[in-house]
Every structure is written in structure tokens, then in C-alpha cells.
């Protein structure tokens, strides 16, 4: 396979891309980790301590998937905290309760916004308000322009270059989730979650065979896998999933109990085994995608 990947430049504090290993057979796959960023943006002054802000981040997910580019596909990472600006929301998911003035554009009716987890989170965690003041429309627009748009532009370009050259592209959207449901989540508070939750928006964001390949890769290694419950995938897989046009997009949620202490967010002994399994699974994903090209 010829050069298929177009890799945008890194943007300090906003995004960073690990290109595919030049020695690897290129794969028509793009990985992204939109929620693992821990760089505090200038001017972000929440009313809560930063460790409360970081509770919502998918800490270490970028490190867990660090080996994926060795199998032929790049890894895009957002560097800022997801509750500051969540790229896995649409630009219409603005929470009017955050604002000091009316939002001049269209507003979605998404349940994530009602739960305080919209484009900009109203709560740090549970019922703890993120801010002790209302935000201005200009502040929200600035975050959209400086964080949301560049991230989406990079991912759009990365997936489009593969699709243009191969006719198909596989996008793997990498996340982690708390062990149990909580006050902000769609499942009941306290509900135990599976090791892995795959989200293909109820079978609409990728070929069913792709979801099956990834589920099997985890199950063969001893993980229990749920599909679309309680997370079916959000804006990123919605935007990039159009299987009838050769665009396959799958969300992977990893249970944080497998690799970190959820209170301190430090890696625990399970991290290395999980990272090794994800290395092998990324290899299977890339091999599957290549096999579909022939």
C-alpha cells in the first residue's frame, strides 16, 4: 500500500499526533484519544481544584494505545481536559445554563447537555458546579474556534486522506469509563460496567463485522464486552461513521478499574497487561482493515 496517511502538524496545548511507524505496513485506520488531555488551558479558571476537573478525563488512554501506530495507523490525541471543551459533542451542544447571555446559534436537545456534560461541562463531577460565574458567548466561541475546530479539522483530514486513497477508512475512537455508573452517566448510579463497552451507535456507525472482530479480540483475551450499553458512541463516531460509504467508526470504552486507581488516577499493576493486549488488538484491527482492501 502506498502512502495513505496525511498527518497534520501538532498544535501545542491542543493536539498531538503519533504518526504510523514508517516500518509498518500502512493500515487504513485512524485512532483517536479525545479525552485523555491534562494540559490546563490558559485562562481556564474553574471553581474546583484541578484534580476534580481531571476526574472526568480518560486518563492514560493515550498511553494505553501508544503502540497502535506501530501497526500502521496514526494516533491523534487531544491535549486539553475534556470538561473544558468536549470534542465528542456537537457545536450545538452548548448548555444555556452556563451562559450569562442567550446563545445566538441553534441549540441541541441532547440528554448529555441536560446532564451537565455538554460541549462545555457545567459540573466538574457529580453535582459540583465547575464555575462560580456564568460564561460569556465570546468565551464559548473562543473555545470552539481554538479547540473544537482544530481537533475536528485534524481528524477530518486524517480520515479523508485514507478514504480518498483507499475508498474506505476505519476510525477507532478510544475512551475510558469509571467502573460504575454515577450521577452524570446514562446508566444507573452504582451499576457495575463491563470491562469493555463497544459503541457503534446501534449498528449504524460501522460494518457489523468490524464490531464483531473487535469484540472477539477482547473476549479471546478474557475481557467481558458489552455492545452499545451504556455507551453507544457520541459525536465523533456519529460524524465519522457512514459504513455504506466505506467509513467505519467504532468507540471503545475501557473500564478504568483495569488499569488505574480511580481516586488517585495512578496506574496500577494491571496497566502493563492491558497495554500489551491493546497493542495486539490494534494489530488485529489494522490487519482486519487491510484485509478488507483486497
Backbone angles phi, psi at 19, to 5 degrees: -75, 160
* Closest distance of CB 55 from Zn ion, Å: 12
Residue sitting closest to Zn ion (CB): 175
Q: Please choose, out of 66-74, 159-167, 174-182, 206-214, the segment that lies near Zn ion by the rule CB under 5 A.
A: 174-182
Please say which residue, 122 or 175, places its beta carbon nearer to Zn ion.
175
Per CB under 5 A, the list member of 175, 239, 256, 290 interacting with Zn ion is: 175
* Closest distance of CB 230 from Zn ion, Å: 13
Please say which residue, 56 or 286, places its beta carbon nearer to Zn ion.
56
Please say which residue, 35 or 122, places its beta carbon nearer to Zn ion.
35
Per CB under 5 A, the list member of 58, 86, 93, 95 interacting with Zn ion is: 58
Give the count of residues interacting with Zn ion (CB under 5 A): 3
Residue 193 interacting with Zn ion (CB under 5 A):
no
Residue 152 interacting with Zn ion (CB under 5 A):
no
Please say which residue, 89 or 143, places its beta carbon nearer to Zn ion.
89
Residue 235 interacting with Zn ion (CB under 5 A):
no
Please say which residue, 4 or 78, places its beta carbon nearer to Zn ion.
78
* Closest distance of CB 36 from Zn ion, Å: 8
Contacts with Zn ion, residue ranges (CB under 5 A): 35, 58, 175
Amino acid at each position: 500500500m502506498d502512502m495513505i496517511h496525511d498527518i497534520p502538524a501538532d498544535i501545542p496545548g491542543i493536539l498531538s499526533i503519533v504518526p504510523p511507524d514508517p516500518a509498518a505496513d500502512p493500515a487504513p485506520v485512524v485512532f483517536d484519544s479525545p479525552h485523555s488531555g491534562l494540559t490546563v488551558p490558559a485562562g481556564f479558571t474553574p471553581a474546583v481544584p484541578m484534580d476534580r476537573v481531571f476526574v472526568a478525563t480518560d486518563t492514560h488512554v493515550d498511553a494505553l494505545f501508544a503502540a497502535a501506530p506501530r501497526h500502521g495507523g496514526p494516533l491523534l490525541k487531544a491535549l486539553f481536559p475534556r470538561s473544558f471543551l468536549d470534542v465528542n459533542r456537537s457545536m450545538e451542544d452548548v448548555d444555556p445554563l452556563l451562559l450569562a447571555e442567550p446563545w445566538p446559534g441553534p441549540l441541541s436537545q441532547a440528554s448529555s447537555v441536560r446532564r451537565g456534560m455538554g460541549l462545555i461541562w457545567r459540573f466538574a463531577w457529580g453535582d459540583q458546579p465547575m464555575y462560580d460565574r456564568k460564561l460569556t458567548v465570546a468565551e464559548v466561541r473562543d473555545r470552539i474556534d481554538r479547540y473544537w475546530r482544530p481537533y475536528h479539522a485534524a481528524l477530518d483530514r486524517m480520515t479523508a486522506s485514507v478514504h480518498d486513497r483507499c475508498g474506505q477508512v476505519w476510525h477507532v475512537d478510544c475512551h475510558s469509563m469509571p467502573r460504575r455508573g454515577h450521577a452524570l452517566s446514562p446508566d444507573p448510579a452504582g451499576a457495575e460496567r463491563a470491562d469493555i463497552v463497544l459503541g457503534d451507535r446501534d449498528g449504524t456507525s460501522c460494518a457489523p463485522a468490524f464490531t464483531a472482530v473487535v469484540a472477539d479480540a477482547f473476549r479471546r483475551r478474557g475481557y467481558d464486552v458489552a455492545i452499545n450499553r451504556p455507551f453507544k458512541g457520541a459525536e465523533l463516531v456519529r460524524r465519522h461513521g457512514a459504513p455504506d460509504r466505506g467509513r467505519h467508526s467504532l468507540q471503545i470504552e475501557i473500564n478504568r478499574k483495569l488499569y488505574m486507581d480511580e481516586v488517585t488516577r495512578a496506574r496500577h499493576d494491571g496497566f502493563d497487561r492491558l497495554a500489551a493486549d491493546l497493542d495486539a488488538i490494534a494489530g488485529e484491527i489494522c490487519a482486519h482493515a487491510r484485509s478488507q482492501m483486497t
